[in-house]
Amino acid sequence: LIFLLTSILRLAFNKLRYTSKMLFAAIDENHHGTYDLMHLPIDFKNKCNVGYAFINMVSPSHMISFYEV
C-alpha cells in the first residue's frame, strides 16, 4: 500500500524570477527533511515559474505542520 502525500503550492510571485533553489531554501527553513520530492515548473518562454509547485511530504504529520506555518 503506497500513500502519496503530494500537495500543490500556489506561489504568489510567479512573475518574479523565483527559482527552484530559492524555493528549496524557503521551505528548508522550517521543513528540511520532511519532503522527498519537489518540482517547480518553469515557463521557459517567459523565463519564470508558472505560479505553482508540487511537494511530496514523507509523512501525513509533516503535511499538517507544513500547512500550519
Average pLDDT over the chain reads 81
Contacts of 59 (CB under 8 A, 6+ apart): 5, 34
Q: What pLDDT does 14 receive? A: 59
Q: What pLDDT does 28 receive? A: 92
Q: Tell whether the model's pLDDT for residue 5 goes beyond 70.
A: yes
Q: Tell whether the model's pLDDT for residue 24 goes beyond 70.
A: yes
Q: In what order do the strands lie in the sheet with 35-39?
A: 6-10, 52-57, 35-39
Predicted TM-score (pTM) of the model is 0.74
